[in-house]
Structure 1
Amino acid sequence: MSGTQSEKNWTGNVLVTGASSGIGRATALALAGRGTRVFAACRKQTDAEAVAAEAVTGRIVPLTMDVTDQESIRTACAIVQAATGSDGLDGLVNNAGIGISAPMEVMDLAQLRAIFEVNAFGQIAVIQTFLPLLRPKRGRIINLGSVGARITIPFGGALCGAKAAFTSFNDALRLELKSEGIRVCLIEPGSINTPAVEKTLGGIDQTIARWSEPMQQRYGAAFRRFTTKATAREVRGSRPDVVAEAICHALASKSPKLRYPAGRDARLLATLPRLLPTAVLDSLRLRLFGLTELASTKTP
């Protein structure tokens, strides 16, 4: 971000969810370094305290919150409200998220529901609960989407689907809150090297072992190649700080963008679906992940 001096030293009160690692942690530290008081929300108190201890400014307040637990959200909101008083929040960064890769045919429905609970429904629960704290100062809502919401990849239907749903939620909120002066911005990361890479793409042997024998035969080899390619792309991706800078700009700029593609390949991947016919885009995606055998139609 090449922001103004006021943006670089922007202060206020901001809640960041999913602050234990990766983009959330980088965002909390970047904001604290600018003089912002950050409420760093993590599922585990020890993780939140570790983030707070890392901030040399002492501007991070550790907070325990599980976005899938309404009581946990209400308790966290009460703590933030007591700490901020009539000032309320200047910003809310919805970053908490989880992911899993698998063929749609073998996707465990309980895991699929869990991904939507965290990545979509949990985010709305947080927004609904904290909106009263944002209204006094017309605070901003910064939602973490993904370029995957625009360009779904094979074996990524669960995460891309949840992010696509959250993108629609984001757009509705932006329109509904515009008259109140509450800006709603969407951050769309591309390839980012974070600890989430291992959580989302790791454990391939264990994942395949849980499938039935026919499903292992049908998808196993292709899924292994996809995982190898996808992991390599993410490891070569941008640092989380790149996304944190985009978030800081969205919070502090007088004229924030509605959407912020951020990180390696983000702009390219966001643009390709608008330029290429679907059939061409399908072929490109399959080749990208070494899945050319899936591009041919098999005859009985």
Structure 2
Amino acid sequence: MRKPWIVGVLVGLLLLGACGDPSSGPEAAHPARSDPGTSPSSASEAHGAREASPSSTTQQQRPPASSSPEVPTKRPTVLYLGDSLAMENQKVLGGLLRDELRARYTSAPYSGTTLCDYLEGTGQDSLVPAKDKAAALVRALRPDFVVLQFWGNAWGYTPCMDGITHDKARARYFARYAADAKKLTAQIADASGAHGPKVVWVLQGPDPITPDRIRRVNAIYERQADASGALLADAGKAVSPATARYTWTQYLPCTAYERDHSAYCTRPGSGRTALHRDDDYLHFCLAPTTEKPKPCPVRSPGIMRITRAITEAVASATN
């Protein structure tokens, strides 16, 4: 299949600011289970939504949980924050965490955000309202884990970045991003008291436009995790070639799990599966984007790979 590379890159750039956000409160209720024979209505995300729009209760169809997961003795409480990648993942991740860890789960992703949007004190220069700032949700929910998944918005879409972009001020961009990671970690810790949650930094997959940028963003997460005793979930590795962690690809060989669940091995004849649509190099939802941001409504191998990596990281620290 010929990949319309130029068109894909241009459309991908338009989609970078697109992500979802919760409705009046974070997503916490158990979603309705989709019938395996039906397909939910259209969903995904759109560029340029400067105002927060409510997320959908639509759930991506997903396979049953592992046949013999190690059920933890304690039910962890998990809070999931992030940008468009978290938006499209949130229903699937919640299902896996509930099925495999019996977790209590809340998600509150917002469109086009970066770390500073979840900091208290950003006021109106933020895409996240005060009630859904990381510290506010930690005080309200007292989670055991706070999972943070951010691509690292670098194109000036997020007001709280004060116009600092990767292309025009590279050194300032990375310095600001590292400072915000440290500040966000501190606010989460201060909000939780003596027995704070474990922060889980999700490492991102390859960026075909600026591959070194995402490598350095992940390095910021790694340093912050090391400095604060946080956890890492290398979800990006699950959507990268086995021998080229930072090389972008649209297709990867099907895993054993994907071969056993045919909807997740999109090209069984060649033994390969699609991670991205032809017209979107960034997101992993295989449904077309729509104007109203929503969780992904279709089975998507990249989303399953990412959410399994996150679930495994939480599970390893729960048992």
TM-score higher than 0.5 here? no
Q: Which has the larger radius of gyration?
A: 1
Q: Higher relative CO (CA 8 A, sep ≥ 6), structure 1 or 2?
A: 2
TM-score, structure 2 as length reference = 0.43
Name whichever structure is richer in helix by fraction.
Answer: 1
